[in-house]
Amino acid sequence: MTDNHPEDRTLKYEEHEIAIVAQILGEIQHNYAQQLNFRKGIKEFREEGVAACVRELNQMHQRICWRMVTIKELTRRERIRAQDGLMLLTKKDKGEVKARYAYNGKPTRMWVKDEEKASPTVLTESLFVTCAIDAHEGRDMMCMDIPNAFIQAEIPKRKKGERIIMKIRGRLVDWLIEISPQTYQDKVVIEKGVKVLYVEIVRAIYGMLEAALMWYRQFRTDLEKVGFKFHDYDPCIAFKDVEGSQHLVRFHVDDILSSHMKAKVNDEFALWAQQKYGEIKDVKVKRGKVFKFLGMVLDFSHAGECHVLQEDHVDDIVRSWPEEIKKTAKELTPCTSNHFDRGEGKLLCNERREIFHTIAAKCLFVGNRSRPDTLPTVSLLTTPGSRTK
């Protein structure tokens, strides 16, 4: 395939931005390909969808994610900025229907400050270096997943006029009333024939632009309270000395990788996390030698080694290719002798251009993590204005 965009129509990204875009594309493809809005989700999943929505609303009610407010309590500014909640449904790989209630954060981009929208995540280089140390020293490894991480973070109290207000509508209102009549029954208003509840968001729920940063600050504070210090160069690497050895923690939002020479230290850390974040839903803990972490498989099965694999992503790239891939002799590298020669083919049509960009982004995601041998080729494919054979 070949392509050559006019300069003024070419989107340019910094290297770190390309990696982020590729990761997002990969996660959307892998986890949320079947994510549906409320109406389509209920039509598709029926009783399973209803049950999933009720479970999601119930856990948000139990975690006290919002405080009820009446229209009279709201300022004009708050009424204008009030956003509708979004109930999204998807069927996971194991067949379970999952619902997630999110805040519609898209319109809030106009007034949320840029420094409040981004949260640090563990650097890939940091992860690889520390995993190499783990493997060399033969440390005990543990992976954890914090349930509903964002809504474990409390929003700092805001003055009237600056609060985050959300509207809950329709059937969701009925289900909340069934969950807790005394909380919601007398707060319902009718707008254009539809039941509506107004709530002040008091915890960082999904969809809020500030949610990831709020959770990061919460988790960092909690770790610092139990003695962890943070690395000067990577704000998602925490460590402390326990019984003469380093206890190392790396995290990417709610995914946590922990290591120590003694297994009991990881056991105690898992117990702390369960007591801190698992009151309503258990913290998922994985022990062993092989872990799924940030779209990769980290394999510590061989003594002194850590192998990084992304076989599922590679299979997805192959399946996404619109043409039959013929079996050829195995090559040591995807580079050929004429690798950097300028191609002379015709420009791609819009449909094939979209396919090309999507696959190139997926290849970049894999190349930056588990297949660095492909990067010379992938970097050429992702260079704006390049034309390859």
Domain ranges of the chain: 7-15+311-381, 34-113+156-201
Pick from 115-119, 232-236, 345-349 the range whose average pLDDT is largest: 232-236
Give pLDDT, residue 12.
Answer: 46
Cβ atoms of residues 106 and 202 within 8 Å: no
> Coil, strand or helix: which one is 357?
helix
Give pLDDT, residue 377.
Answer: 85
Which residues are CB-contacts of 83 (< 8 A; sequence separation ≥ 6)?
103, 104, 105, 107, 108, 165, 166, 167
Which residues are CB-contacts of 328 (< 8 A; sequence separation ≥ 6)?
none
**Residue 324 half-sphere exposure toward CB, CA atoms < 13 A:** 3
Give the CA radius of gyration of the chain. 24
Question: Is the entire prediction scored with pTM above 0.75?
Answer: no
Give the model confidence (pLDDT) of 141-187 as tens digits. Answer: 999 999 888 888 888 888 888 898 999 999 999 999 999 999 999 99
Cβ atoms of residues 317 and 363 within 8 Å: yes
Q: Edge-to-edge, what's the strand order for the sheet holding 290-293?
A: 290-293, 296-299, 307-309
**The token pair that represents 59 in the structure block:** 């856990």
Give pLDDT, residue 329.
Answer: 65
Give the model confidence (pLDDT) of 53-82 as tens digits. Answer: 999 999 999 999 999 998 889 999 888 888
Q: Which residues pair with 277 in a beta bridge?
A: none
In this structure, what DSSP letter does residue 342 have?
Answer: B
Q: What is the mean predicted confidence (pLDDT) over 218-240? A: 95
Nearest partner of 302 among 165, 134, 149, judged by Cα: 134
